[in-house]
Structure 1
């Protein structure tokens, strides 16, 4: 089923709102929908810090689903690091987590160092988090943007520059 995403993006130079309409294709493999409350989870970072999704309410949250074996993830992650994490990491209203699908801590640590990325990577044993968002068997390289109220606002699949740029605009707008 295709969802239509209506996102208000304020264009600063024109000081007017522009609506961007985007269809989320069924082949993206999401089981969540735009406007839905994001599924909750608890897990740990590779360095053992506990992360409880409920504690993130009031923040704009980006969840990046990834795995070390994923070539497209390896292509996208440096862009996330440079264009999103470096820009917003000191903003207390923003949180970004890479969620690594069903890999052991040591492998995830080596993966982060190899890319390299500095944003926190979470462990997702058996895909318990991933499969709250995506269909069984669906691939990684996907992002979910969640607003301060906990609702899903935007999703991506694979790395497409136009979609990635639009996602950055959505994050910037949500943080205004």
Structure 2
């Protein structure tokens, strides 16, 4: 037990630094999400207003991204399948690819959560610094406030994100 506590205490500063460091974001935890206006691949229009009252994960991804491919099965099973029947939505947002390629990517990855295509990267750039890389999850609470930002796929950070989602869903 003492070893476990020591490991947790020693890894906490690195985790907190990772959350405080910009990691290519121009937004911060605690801020309201930027203006959102986009359509899912099925034509559903998404905006800040339509997302109010839901905990939201915006997952920026691309078919060519190996880290995205590694993370997506975990998003499907540990996030989407777990929370999809609550006031929750996970939206995969493919960066700058053609619809046919994205459809193939979704089928290949066997994910069932909704997808959008950020054709010109404007939505992505509303959250990130210029030339930032994909494999990002942005978690918003029911009021549209950013409560978690991730970059790349790291198991412990991913578990922490799932805990944050769970806690946010339990808040009224």
Task: Settle same-fold status: TM greater than 0.5.
Answer: yes
Instruction: Show the counterpart of 1:103.
Output: 97
Structure 1 position 46 matched with structure 2 position 27 = no
Structure 1 position 163 matched with structure 2 position 157 = yes
TM-score (norm 1): 0.84
Q: Which runs of 5+ in 2 are unaligned?
A: 1-12
Instruction: Show the counterpart of 2:62.
Output: 67
Greater percentage in helix: 2
Instruction: Show the counterpart of 1:6.
Output: none
Instruction: Show the counterpart of 2:128.
Output: 134
C-alpha deviations, 1:135-160, integer Å up to 9, x for none?
Answer: 11110001011111111011111000
CA distance in 2 between counterparts of 1:46 and 1:105 reads: 8
Confirm or deny: 8 A CA contact 1:46 1:108 kept in the other structure.
no
Counterpart mapping for 1:114-125 below 5 A? 114-125=108-119
Confirm or deny: 8 A CA contact 1:100 1:123 kept in the other structure.
yes
Confirm or deny: 8 A CA contact 1:46 1:109 kept in the other structure.
no
Greater percentage in strand: 1
Offset at 1:95? 1.2
CA distance in 2 between counterparts of 1:50 and 1:73 reads: 24
Q: The residue matched to 1:79 in structure 2 has which SS?
A: helix
CA distance in 2 between counterparts of 1:97 and 1:144 reads: 10
Confirm or deny: 8 A CA contact 2:48 2:144 kept in the other structure.
no
Offset at 1:50? 2.1
Q: Which runs of 5+ in 1 are unaligned?
A: 1-19
User: How many residues in Structure 1 have an aligned counterpart in Structure 2?
Assistant: 157
CA distance in 1 between counterparts of 2:20 and 2:147 reads: 15
CA distance in 1 between counterparts of 2:78 and 2:50 reads: 25
What is the Cα-based RMSD across aligned positions, in Å?
Answer: 1.7
Offset at 1:27? 6.0
